[in-house]
A and B are shown apart, each in its own frame.
Chain A
Amino acid sequence: MTPPADLRSIADVAPLVQRGEVSPVDLVRGCLARIEAGRDLNAFITVMADAALEEAAAAQRDIAAGRYRGPLHGIPVSLKDLIDVAGVPTTSGSAVPPRLPAHDAPVVRRLREAGAVIVGKTNLHEFAFGTTGDETAFGAVKHPFDTTRSAGGSSSGAAVALIEGMCFLSLGTDTGGSIRIPAAACGVVGLKAAYGELSCEGIVPLSTTCDHVGPLARTVRDARIAFDALSGTPHPASRPERVTLGVPGGYLLERLDVHVRAALGRARIALGQAGHTIRDVEIEHARMTPDIYLHIVLPEASRYHAATLEAHAGAYSPGVRLRLEMGRYVLAEDYVRAMRLRDILRASVDRALDGCDALLLPALAIPAPPLGAASVGVDGSPEPVRAIMLRLTQPFNLTGHPAIALPCGRTTSGLPVGMQLVGRHGETDRLLDIAEALEDHIAGGAGSVGGGTV
C-alpha cells in the first residue's frame, strides 16, 4: 500500500513536488494537522504555521514558474529549538529566558537557500544536557509507540516529529549522541557528520569541542539530501558493491540489552550473506571514554552557562542545573588530561578503521527506557540510564569521526533498535555511500519505521 505523501521520503516526494503533482502548501497543511493531532507527545515548542504556509505558497509559485531549486524545495522541515531562527525565540527547552536571535543560524540559511519550509522548532532535553527528553520546560517528550517511554534525546522532539509525519526532515544536534540516540530509539536515520564539517554557529552550545549538528531523516538518501544542502556541496552517491566492516568488541559490546545484541547478530549475518566482510576489531582505551567525556563536556557546558546560573539558577531543571554546577569544579589540569587522552582515543579509532570501510555497532545499548527511570536492567544488573544511553555514541563525539544511526528492526514488544556505522575522518560522504548500500540489510526487512519504504 502506498503511504500518504506526508509519510514518504523526501526522495520519493520531491519529484512529485517538482512536477506539480504534490503541492508544498498541502504538504505543510498535512504536517500542521499532524502536529495538532499529536500535541500530547510534546514534540514541538514553537509551531510556525503562518510563516510556513507563506513560505510554502512562495515555493509553489517558484516551482510553477520553473525555478525549482532541488529536492528540499517546498519540503517541510523542523529545527531543534537550540538552533537560531531570526525573530523566533530560542528556548533550548528551558524556562531560562530565551535567546532572541536577529539572524538565522548558517545551517538554517542553507536550508532556506535549498527551498526548505520551516514548520517549527522541536522540544528537547533542556540545553541538550540529557538523553531522555523529560527534563524540559515544555513537557516531557513521549515515545509515539509507548507514551510511557522516552523517545531518546536530547533531540527528542526531532525524532518524534519525523516518525509522526509532522515534517519530512528534522535538524538536531549531537554532543554525546543526541541525534543518534533518539533516531535509534524511534527507528529513524540520524547523521552526525565529522566534527567541524557543518557549522554550529548560531546554535546554543553544550560543549564546543564535542557539538555537532545534523539531520534526522526517514532514509539514508534523505540524510544525504540534507547533508548536501547543509554543507553547501553536493556529494554524488556512489554505492560500494562490497565493504569491510569492523565490529569493535570489548567495552563497547559488554553491556547490551538482549534484543539489541540479537539485532547486531542478525545484522552481521545479513551483511555477510550479502557478500560484505565483517571482522572483529578493537578500539584500544575505549573504556576511558566516560571519564574523558565528563571532564571535557562538564566544564565546557558550565562556561557557557556561568552567568545564567548566577542570575536564573531556579529556572533550570534541577538535574540539569546540578550537572552544570558540577562542571564548575573540574580542575584545569584534569581538563587538559582529558584533552590529551581524547587524542589517544581518536588515534585508537583510526587504527580500528585500518583495513575497514566503517565500524558497525549498535547506536543505543537499550530500547527506549521508561520516562523518569533513573536506571534500567541490562543483562540482569541495573545501569544508570544516562550512562548506558551515551555509551556507544559518545566515543565518536570525542574523536569527531562521522557516524550514522540506522533502523535495525524492533524488539518483541515493538520498540525500535538502531545500529550505527562509523566512518573515517573527513569522509562523511563516503559513510553515506556505505550506509545507503547497507541500509536494507541492516533493517533486515523487519518493517522498521523510517526505513526505505515508509
Chain B
Amino acid sequence: MRDIAPKTPPQRPAMQEPDGFDRLYRDHVDLIYRYAYRLCGEAESAKDLVQETFLNAYQGLKDFRGESRVSTWLYTIASRACIRMRRKRKGQPEHELSMEEFVPTSEGEFRLQIPMDGLSPEEALQNKELRKALDHAIEKLPQKYRMALVLHDMEGLRAKEVGTIMGLNERAVKSRLHRARLFVRRELSARGITHHDDHTSGGSHS
C-alpha cells in the first residue's frame, strides 16, 4: 500500500510534467520576488534569489509531498537559498541581539518617536525620509531577525508558519520577532525624522 496523496497539483516529477513547473512559477513568482526583495533590499539580488529558489524547486518538485502549503515550501527554499547566498558573499558572522541592548537608559531614549501621528500608514510612508529609514533599518538587521520580521510583519504569516519555514519553534520565532521590532523601532526613532509629508508639499520630489 503506497501512501500517495493525490490532492495537490505539483506532485508529479517536474521532468515528466513541464506544465507543473510552469504553473508553480506563474502562481508564485510574484510572491517569492516580493519576499526576496524584502530580504535582499534591492532588485538584482532579489532576482538572483528568485532564480535560485525556483531552480531548487524545479529539482525538488518530485519530492514535494504536499505536507505543507506550496507557498510555505517555496518560502522555505527561498530562505535557505538566501542564507547560502549571503554566506558565500560575505563571511561575517551574524550577531545576536540581546534584550538588554534595547532597554532605554535615559528618558530621552524612552520617548523617541516615529512621526505618524494622525496619519494613516500609507500617508506616513509617503514621507521619503521615513521610508528610507525603515528600509535601512530592516536591511541592517542580522539576517535571522530580518527573516522573522519580514515573514511575520511584512508577508503576514503566523508565527507557527514562520517556525516551519525557519526550522524553529513558535517561541523562538516570537523572541526573534520581538527583538527585530525593537531594533527597527530604535533605528527609526533615533533618526529624528521630521514630520514633513512629501504628498502635501506640492510633490516636487517623488
| A and B from one complex | no
A-binding residues in B (CB < 8 A): none
B-binding residues in A (CB < 8 A): none
